[in-house]
C-alpha cells in the first residue's frame, strides 16, 4: 500500500510541476504583450540622406509616457547641426510603426544610461524598487536585436540573474585590464550578470520580472568571445544589465513627471 502511495505522490508531483511550468509560460506570454507596448527602437533619422531611420539600439517608455530610457552609448553620437537630423523612438511592429521625435534631456555615462523626451506619449512600463534581485530570479528582456538588419520586430529573451558582479567585463589576462576596468572593479557599483543571450541592438532593452513585468534593469553589454561578428555567430550567452536603481536616480535628477 505504501508503495502505491509513493508512486501516486510521485505522479502528483510531476503533474504539479508541469502545471506550474505551463502557468509560468502563459504568464510570461501575457507579460510580454503588455511590455511590448512600451518598448521601442532608438534610431537617428536624417531625412535628406535616407527614407528610414538608422536603428542604434533599444529603449523603453517611463514616467508619464512622454520619456524613454536607453543606454548612453546608444545616443552619444553628436548630431550634425548643418542638416536636419534627430533621434527617434520607433514604436510598433514590422512596417506598422510610429516615428516619434526624441531629445536627449539627461544622461549618466558612468551607469551607461540616457533619458529621452518624446514628442508623443506612449504606454509607460512600471519600474521595480531599488532592491537588487536574488541570484536565480527569472527575468526576461525585450528589444530589437540586430534591428538594423531584421527591422522592427521586438524579440524577447528569458533567463535568470546568474550573478551580481562589479561593473567590469572580465579580461582574459591581467595585461588586458584597462585603467577604466580597474577603476570600476575598485568601486562598490554592482550590476546583473544574466544567463541569457543579448545581441547587438539589444542595448537599452528593458529587463523585467517575468511575472509582474516590472523593469528591474537595462541591458548594456554582452561578453564577446573574439570579434564583434562572433556575437552573432557564436554568442557567449552572458549578458549584463544596469540595475533599475540607477534609472530611478536619473529620473529623480531630471525631475520628470510620473505616471498617475
State the residue for C-alpha cell 557564436. Answer: 234
Q: Which residues pair with 101 in a beta bridge?
A: 88
Q: How many residues does the chain have?
A: 260
Number of neighbouring beta carbons within 10 Å of residue 189: 16
In contact, 201 and 143? CB cutoff 8 Å:
yes
User: Do the domains 39-125 and 138-250 sit in the same CATH topology, yes or no?
Assistant: yes
Predicted pLDDT of residue 211 = 93
Could you read off the pLDDT of 147-180 as tens digits, one per residue?
656 668 899 999 999 999 998 654 444 444 445 5
In contact, 127 and 214? CB cutoff 8 Å:
yes
- Cell of residue 136, nine digits: 536565480
- Among 68-72, 143-147, 180-184, top mean pLDDT goes to 68-72
State the residue for C-alpha cell 514604436. Answer: 91
Number of neighbouring beta carbons within 10 Å of residue 20: 10
Predicted pLDDT of residue 174 = 40
Domain 39-125, CATH among 3.40.50.300, 2.60.110.10, 2.40.10.10, 2.60.320.10 = 2.40.10.10
In contact, 154 and 144? CB cutoff 8 Å:
yes
Closest to 202 (Cα-Cα) out of 117, 245, 140, 138 = 140
138-250: CATH number: 2.40.10.10
Closest to 101 (Cα-Cα) out of 82, 122, 117 = 117
What are the residue ranges spanned by the domains of the chain?
A: 39-125, 138-250
Predicted pLDDT of residue 212 = 94
Report the chain's C-alpha Rg in angstroms.
Answer: 20
Sign of CA dihedral 160, 165, 168, 174: negative
The per-residue pLDDT of the chain, averaged, comes to 82
Of the ranges 24-28, 134-138, 235-239, which one carries the lowest mean pLDDT score?
235-239
Could you read off the pLDDT of 85-139 as tens digits, one per residue?
999 999 988 777 899 999 999 999 999 999 999 999 999 999 999 999 999 999 9
CA 119 to CA 69: how far, in whole Å? Answer: 14
CA 161 to CA 163: how far, in whole Å? Answer: 6
CA 90 to CA 58: how far, in whole Å? Answer: 9
Closest to 68 (Cα-Cα) out of 98, 45, 32, 41 = 41
In contact, 32 and 140? CB cutoff 8 Å:
yes
Amino acid at each position: 500500500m505504501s508503495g502505491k502511495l509513493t508512486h501516486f505522490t510521485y505522479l502528483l508531483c510531476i503533474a504539479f510541476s508541469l502545471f506550474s511550468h505551463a502557468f509560468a509560460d502563459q504568464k510570461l506570454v501575457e507579460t510580454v504583450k503588455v511590455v511590448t507596448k512600451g518598448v521601442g527602437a532608438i534610431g537617428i533619422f536624417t531625412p535628406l540622406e535616407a527614407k528610414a531611420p538608422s536603428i542604434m539600439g533599444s529603449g523603453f517608455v517611463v514616467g508619464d509616457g512622454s520619456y524613454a530610457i536607453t543606454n548612453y552609448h546608444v545616443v552619444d553620437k553628436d548630431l550634425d547641426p548643418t542638416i536636419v537630423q534627430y533621434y527617434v523612438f520607433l514604436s510598433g511592429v514590422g512596417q506598422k510603426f510610429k516615428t516619434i521625435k526624441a531629445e536627449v534631456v539627461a544622461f549618466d555615462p558612468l551607469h551607461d544610461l540616457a533619458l529621452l523626451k518624446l514628442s508623443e506619449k506612449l504606454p509607460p512600463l512600471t519600474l521595480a524598487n531599488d532592491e537588487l534581485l536574488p541570484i536565480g530570479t527569472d527575468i526576461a528582456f525585450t528589444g530589437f536585436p540586430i534591428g538594423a538588419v531584421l527591422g522592427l520586430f521586438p524579440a524577447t529573451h528569458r533567463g535568470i540573474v546568474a550573478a551580481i558582479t562589479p561593473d567590469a567585463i572580465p579580461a582574459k589576462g591581467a595585461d588586458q585590464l584597462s585603467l577604466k576596468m580597474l577603476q570600476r572593479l575598485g568601486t562598490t557599483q554592482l550590476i546583473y550578470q544574466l544567463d541569457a543571450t543579448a545581441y547587438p541592438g539589444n542595448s537599452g532593452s528593458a529587463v523585467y520580472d517575468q511575472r509582474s513585468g516590472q523593469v528591474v534593469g537595462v541591458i548594456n553589454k554582452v561578453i564577446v568571445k573574439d570579434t564583434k561578428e562572433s556575437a552573432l555567430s557564436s554568442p557567449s550567452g552572458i549578458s549584463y544589465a544596469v540595475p533599475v536603481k540607477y534609472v530611478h536616480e536619473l529620473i529623480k535628477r531630471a525631475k520628470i513627471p510620473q505616471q498617475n
